[in-house]
A and B are shown apart, each in its own frame.
Chain A
Amino acid sequence: MSPTQDLSSLSESELLRMEREVASRHIDKFPYFAVAWAFSNLAVWLALWPLVFLGVIPLWLGFVIATVNITLSYLPSHEAQHDIIAKPGTKLRWLNQLVGHISTIPLVLPYRVAKFTHMEHHKFANDPEKDPDYAIHAKSPLGAIWNSIYYRQPRADGGINAYGDAMVRIGRQDVVLDGVIYKLVHYGILFALAWSGYAIEAALLWWLPRHIALTYIQYYLSWAPHNPELTSGRYRDTRSFRSILGNIGSLGMQYHIIHHLHPRIPLYRTPRAYWEMKPILEARGCAVDEL
């Protein structure tokens, strides 16, 4: 199939068959890079603490690296959330769960909270009431950045602050405890470091990088692929887009439409799957005109 082929005359079932055929070529590929990324990213972030405390690297450099580390910490967990590393009941399932749990530690986002809210996002993308990431919805990029920051304020009732409500809605109150423990430990460590004379280090290796990372992640994962003017529905709730920072700079989200249609395709395969599937997506009237 050529990327410019016109398939608009094909029937719904024919398009679906072709779409599944493309997807099947990319599913069940082991994401070696994501697994290595999860462990190395966490190791680098943890190493920053002694390196900065012992004066091996300057704090400003630690801050830059920590910001990159924490920004990159979500995606390996995202692969695990979709069982891409290993499905339940398989030999490497432990690795899937381990990656899921450890990679988002710097982001202070428990794996089960991330997974359950993300599954809700997939089920109800762009639904104002049920999509846990809907709070980032905005008409402009600046509006999205503002919403991301606004909904992290103490009494804001949306965005990441409302993940607990999403857990209650789906009957997983038990998972709320994960969030409470993560928060208590996070702030406990920050306070202990601060009163031990390491407040600036704690602020620049964890507190501020985490807020920058959350804004960046929410911008590229929650806003850019789902806004502006997109509605709900399998072929209408997300799009492909061109980022000025490219696909790597946008955390691999330029081809996010592939992820929503076939969530078990690993992140590194989504560009290839996109170009193979593009005529099908065009025939369905998907928002794929930017790429």
Chain B
Amino acid sequence: MVQVIKTIFYFGPLLFGLAFLAPLSSQIIKAAAWTPPFGLTPLLTGLILGGTLGLIAQIRGRWI
């Protein structure tokens, strides 16, 4: 159990990017009535954006 929790916290930035920033970006895109390029859906755009930011934060150990 401890190991599972440690793993969750270790991958915290990536998880946050995919589980929070992705739907957040997607909903902001929809609210702004913006059409993503290359025929991407708002959700897919959000997943790419949130996933990328999360991955960068995961590697760097910081968001800013």
Residues in A lying within 8 Å of B, measured CB to CB: 149-150, 153-156, 180, 183-184, 187, 190-191, 194-195, 197, 199-200, 202-203, 207
| A154, chain B: closest CB distance, angstroms | 5
CB within 8 Å for A154 and B23 given contacts A180-B5, A200-B31: no
Cross-chain contact B13 with A197 (CB below 8 angstroms):
no
CA distance A200 to B46 in the complex (A): 13
Tell me the residues in window 6-23 of chain B with beta carbons closer than 8 Å to chain A beta carbons. Answer: 8-9, 12-13, 15-16, 19-20, 22-23
Cross-chain contact B23 with A199 (CB below 8 angstroms):
yes
Q: 9 closest pairs, A vs B, by CB?
A: A155-B61, A153-B62, A199-B24, A194-B23, A191-B19, A199-B23, A199-B27, A154-B13, A194-B20
Cross-chain contact A187 with B16 (CB below 8 angstroms):
yes
**Contact for B23 among A149, A180, A184, A195, CB less than 8 A:** A195
**Contact for A195 among B13, B19, B28, CB less than 8 A:** B19
Residues in B lying within 8 Å of A, measured CB to CB: 5, 8-9, 12-13, 15-16, 19-20, 22-24, 26-28, 31, 57-58, 61-64
Cβ of B15: which chain A residues have Cβ within 8 Å of it?
Answer: 187
| B24, chain A: closest CB distance, angstroms | 4
Task: Name A's interface SS.
Answer: helix
Cross-chain contact A190 with B5 (CB below 8 angstroms):
no
Cβ of A154: which chain B residues have Cβ within 8 Å of it?
Answer: 12-13, 57-58, 61-63
- Could you pull out 25 A-B pairs where Cβ atoms are within 8 angstroms? A149-B64, A150-B62, A153-B61, A153-B62, A154-B62, A155-B61, A155-B62, A156-B62, A184-B5, A184-B8, A187-B15, A187-B19, A191-B19, A194-B19, A194-B22, A195-B19, A195-B23, A197-B23, A197-B27, A199-B23, A200-B24, A200-B27, A200-B31, A202-B24, A203-B24
**Contact for B28 among A183, A184, A197, A200, CB less than 8 A:** A200
| A163, chain B: closest CB distance, angstroms | 14
CB within 8 Å for A199 and B20 given contacts A153-B62, A153-B63, A155-B62: yes
Cβ of B8: which chain A residues have Cβ within 8 Å of it?
Answer: 184
